[in-house]
Amino acid sequence: MPIVSKEIEIAPKVKVGGKGPFFLVAGPCVIESEEHSLRLAREIGRTCAALGVPFIFKASFDKANRSSGASFRGPGLEKGLAVLRTVKKEAGVPVLSDVHEVCQVERAAEVLDVIQIPALLCRQTDLLLEVARTMKPVNIKKGQFLSPQEMRNALDKVLSAGNDKVMLTERGTVFGYNNLVFDVRSIPIMKRWGYPVIIDASHSVQRPGGEGLSSGGDAEFIPHVARAGIAVGADGLFIEVHDDPGAALSDKNNSLIINKLQELLAGLCRIREAVGTARG
């Protein structure tokens, strides 16, 4: 029998995991402007509402791990959280962003519905515990240097603080230089622990540092990774969405153009239904 993950309430009208439909975490890699974030949140929200897909808007207020120190990092903590607060209020959707330092956590928890631990920091014990103590839902991204089995340690750190509102995200594994691969076994392995598992179809096709001063990527494979992840039991999809990926200020090579989103989600709904019927 398939493993049913724990249901987590993200916001009053948004629940993820359990026996519900797959959910979507989507938005631009980084906050580019308030207008841009709000426009994308509304458009993605309308698409998800039409398909019955729970939606969490994501965007980073500070990309502290850019390849080059000269790359755009975002508006920063205060201005970025102000944008996310506006998106949350005016678009009526829950919001997610990542924290890189312990000192950011308290302020972030005042606004965010989900606090994310970046993949490169998933072993940082102090950061994990500080986020866990907020009692907000936590999304831990699997480090590209870890096996899926090792993510049990990150999960246990959060659980040790009394917070069981945890999600785990697969985002590819290092495969040689400047390349990642998505091992589909990661999804069922991490689902064994009973918490929602997400497939990050954008970062799984990334080529870290592949452009020298920035990361490359193969956005054409995003739909394939998404379909595979949902087919093997992922509870949610994480994807970077942009209205003009070529002009995106971060991760332009692994962002899905927004006019392709509805078709992708509709297909994933059919896969989820078919797999559920076959297993039920």
pLDDT in tens, 255-267: 999 999 999 999 9
pLDDT for the residue numbered 267: 98
The pLDDT tens digits for 50-100 are: 999 999 999 999 988 867 777 889 999 999 999 999 999 999 999 999 999
pTM for this one? 0.95
The pLDDT tens digits for 227-251 are: 999 999 999 999 999 999 999 999 8
User: Would you say residue 116 has pLDDT above 60?
Assistant: yes
User: Would you say residue 186 has pLDDT above 50?
Assistant: yes
User: Would you say residue 115 has pLDDT above 60?
Assistant: yes
What is the 3-class SS of the chain, one letter each residue? Answer: CCCCCCCEEEECCEEECCCCCCEEEEECCECCCHHHHHHHHHHHHHHHHHHCCCEEEECECCCCCCCCCCCCCCCCHHHHHHHHHHHHHHCCCCEEEECCCHHHHHHHHCCCCEEEECHHHCCCHHHHHHHHHCCCCEEEECCCCCCHHHHHHHHHHHHHCCCCCEEEEECCEECCCCCEECCCCHHHHHHCCCCCEEEECCHHHEECCCCCCCCEECHHHHHHHHHHHHHCCCCEEEEEEECCHHHCCCCHHHCEEHHHHHHHHHHHHHHHHHHHHHHC
The pLDDT tens digits for 134-184 are: 999 999 999 999 999 999 999 999 999 999 999 999 999 999 998 999 999
pLDDT for the residue numbered 280: 42
User: Would you say residue 279 has pLDDT above 80?
Assistant: no
Q: What percent of the chain is modeled with pLDDT above 90?
A: 86
pLDDT for the residue numbered 277: 61
Would you place residue 3 in the very low, low, confident or very high pLDDT band (cuts 50, 70, 90)? confident
> If you classify domain 21-279 with CATH, what class do you get?
alpha beta
Would you place residue 2 in the very low, low, confident or very high pLDDT band (cuts 50, 70, 90)? low
pLDDT for the residue numbered 25: 98
